[in-house]
Every structure is written in C-alpha cells, then in structure tokens.
C-alpha cells in the first residue's frame, strides 16, 4: 500500500509563513519569490509581451511549489508542529 502524504493547501502554506515554528529558510524562499515578482529585473521583461508575464508566473509557481514541498517535508519530520 502506498504511503499516504498530506499535501498543504496554498492557504495553509501562507498561514504557516506567519508562525514562528516555520523554518526561516522557507520564509526566505517565499520572500525571494515576492521580491522577484515586485522587482523590475526579470529574465524576460514584461515589455516583450505575454512571455514576460509567463516568466513571472513560471518563477512564482516553481518557487511556491518548492516552498510548499519543503514545508510539507518539515511537517512530516516534525509531527508535533502545528499545521
């Protein structure tokens, strides 16, 4: 029987970012994601049309997914931590 994994929802992930128990590395990754979204420096600038916005969406999606995965792994390793 496959191992059951608990996947976080985006809402629970955002809530976890405001808890002191959440590792600093996850908070830094989320902060870096936000800074990239607000930064005028991009891999593909927005003035080049839709590809510039897709670039932001790709980076935001991948970094958020990575943060959620790391937090999920942390919570599995530390079951006493509140979700």
Confidence band (pLDDT; 50, 70, 90) for 1?
very low
Whether the predicted pLDDT of 6 surpasses 80: no
CB 29 within 8 A of CB 63: yes
What does the alpha-carbon distance between residue 50 and residue 32 come to, in Å, rounded to a whole number?
Answer: 23
> Angle between the 50-77 and 24-38 helix axes, to the nearest 10 degrees?
170
Q: What is the mean pLDDT of the chain?
A: 83
Q: What is the pLDDT of residues 28-42, one digit of tens each?
A: 999 998 888 888 777
Q: Tell me: the pLDDT tens digits for 39-52?
A: 877 777 777 778 87
Element containing residue 63 per DSSP (H, E): helix 50-77
Among residues of the chain, what percentage have pLDDT more than 70?
89
User: How far does CA 7 lie from the centroid of its chain?
Assistant: 13
Higher pLDDT, 5 or 47: 47
């Amino acid at each position: 029987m496959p191992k059951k994994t608990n996947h976080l929802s985006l809402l629970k992930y955002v809530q976890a970012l405001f808890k002191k128990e959440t590792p600093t590395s996850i908070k830094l990754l989320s902060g870096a994601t936000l800074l990239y979204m607000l930064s005028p420096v991009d891999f593909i600038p927005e003035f080049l049309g839709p590809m510039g916005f897709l670039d932001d969406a790709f980076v935001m999606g991948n970094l958020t997914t990575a943060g959620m995965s790391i937090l999920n792994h942390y919570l599995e390793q530390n079951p006493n931590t509140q979700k």
